[in-house]
Amino acid sequence: PDPEIKAYPDAVYFNFYSLGVSLLFTPANGYKPKTGPSRTKLRDKDLGLDSLDIYKSQRMLVPRLAIQAPVTVLPFPALPISIPKPDNPESILQVTQNTTGKGFRRLPGRA
C-alpha cells in the first residue's frame, strides 16, 4: 500500500495505517523538506530512517462496539520481526509486542 506522507522541515513521516506501521525519517546534509510535498519531490538520499512505530498487536485489541466508527489504524499483523544488521548478520533484534526503543539501542554494533 501507499503510505500517507507528512513532511515537515525537520521530519518526514510515512504512515502505513493499513499495515500498522509508521516510519520517521530525518533530513540530513542540510536538506529541509517542504511541508506537504508529494512522494516524488522528496530527496530519498537525504533522508535517514530515525524510528519505526509498530502499532499494537492483534492480542492487544479490545472488542469494538457495533456503534463505533470503523478502525482506520490497524495493528501490525506479523510479529515477531527479525532485523539483522547489514554489516553483522549475527546481530539480530527480535521485535515483539514488548520491544521498546531500548532494544534497538542495545543492538550489538549499533553506533
Identify the pLDDT of residue 25.
Answer: 92
Q: Distance between CA atoms of 16 and 23, rounded to whole angstroms?
A: 8
Which amino acid would we find at residue 98? N
User: What's the pLDDT score for residue 108?
Assistant: 52
Task: Write down the domain spans for the chain.
Answer: 1-57, 79-111
Residue 76 identity: F
pLDDT-derived band at 16, boundaries 50, 70, 90: confident
The four Cα atoms 6, 103, 58, 66 give a dihedral, to 10 degrees, of: -50
pTM confidence score? 0.60
Longest CA–CA span in the chain (Å) reads: 51
Which residues have C-beta within 8 Å of that of residue 3, sequence separation ≥ 6? 14, 15, 16, 23
State the pLDDT confidence band at 110, using cuts at 50, 70 and 90.
Answer: very low
